[in-house]
A and B are shown apart, each in its own frame.
Chain A
């Protein structure tokens, strides 16, 4: 009896895992310093990918209404990897991408009316105080997914494999750094407008 009990005890000890929480991680911007006036950002419109959501959860992407959020992922990917400016830095950065990405960038992107380079490209996401949280999260998910796919494809992984890279392990950390080098995750979450209330 005691043996069986022991076996059971050890079996359950080994097989139980405490569920770890998962979610979308985000780093908030630091509190603006009152002594330093906010810097005047003058950015070309073509370097900003605008996503607006109003208080009735209607979405406007690049000034066009959109109902299928899954399209945002492809749009953001095309926007970030557009490399619109013809410059030596851009050409070098393109060479660090994977072959399929290089081919895609050269054949169908590099448009003059989209972002100059991944370092310049900013995804601006603005909601209203009355926007539903799940819509906000669904869109944030797509934007994050677009960046993860770019990083993953660059080093020959899927977005999910890229996300699961363990940064504490040196070999995986270097892979992670390689994937992110030169392509910052520029997602700007603007303070919402105050129309809908909460």
Chain B
């Protein structure tokens, strides 16, 4: 009888003392490897420099517009406008602004700021076309995105 009841003298619990370490390792692994999704920029972006910079007050009110020469050669050499993930024409900006506005709260819709990230070799023509469209949809706050010029 006793023969069958014999128990092995081994603990059956899984050791958990290293569990926090494992969790931390995982946390760090995912922290390091995740990138916050940004739209792929399809146009050249060499942002000009300036001195008189204003900081953006509220990031939630800002929508980005990219202008520059397309990076891919088959898209031509003319400066193009990029909205979200696609190259667009200046007239498409109306729809874009309306979409961006609909993401905001009703009271804040007029305060939408369009940050223009423009390559330094872009001609003024396309900038003016964009601004005309912005006026049409009453998005009048514009920020020419620049980096700080280092004073010599």
Contacts and interface: CB of A to CB of B under 8 A. Distances in A.
Q: Which 5 A-B pairs have the closest CB atoms?
A: A198-B125, A129-B125, A134-B120, A141-B50, A23-B145
12 contacts: A9-B27, A22-B146, A22-B147, A22-B148, A23-B144, A27-B140, A128-B124, A129-B124, A129-B128, A131-B123, A132-B120, A163-B52
Interface residues of B, number: 46
A30 interface: yes
A91 to B, nearest CB: 30
B146 A137 contact: yes
B62 to A, nearest CB: 7
Interface in B98-152: 113, 115-116, 118-129, 131, 134-136, 138, 140-148
B44 interface: no
Contacts of B124: 127-133, 136, 192, 198
Interface of A: 1-2, 5-6, 9, 20-31, 127-134, 136-138, 140-141, 144-145, 148, 159, 163-164, 191-192, 196-198
A131 B125 CA distance: 8
A128 B128 CA distance: 10
Most chain A CB neighbours (cut-off 10 Å) among B52, B125, B129, B138: B52
A31 B52 CA distance: 27
B145 A130 contact: no
Q: Which of B118, B120, B125, B129 has the most CB of A within 10 A?
A: B125
Interface of B: 20-21, 24, 27-28, 48, 50-56, 59, 62, 78-79, 113, 115-116, 118-129, 131, 134-136, 138, 140-148
Q: Dominant SS at the B interface?
A: mixed
A192 B128 contact: yes
B122 A145 contact: no
Nearest to A5: B24
Contact of A133 (B127, B141, B148): B127
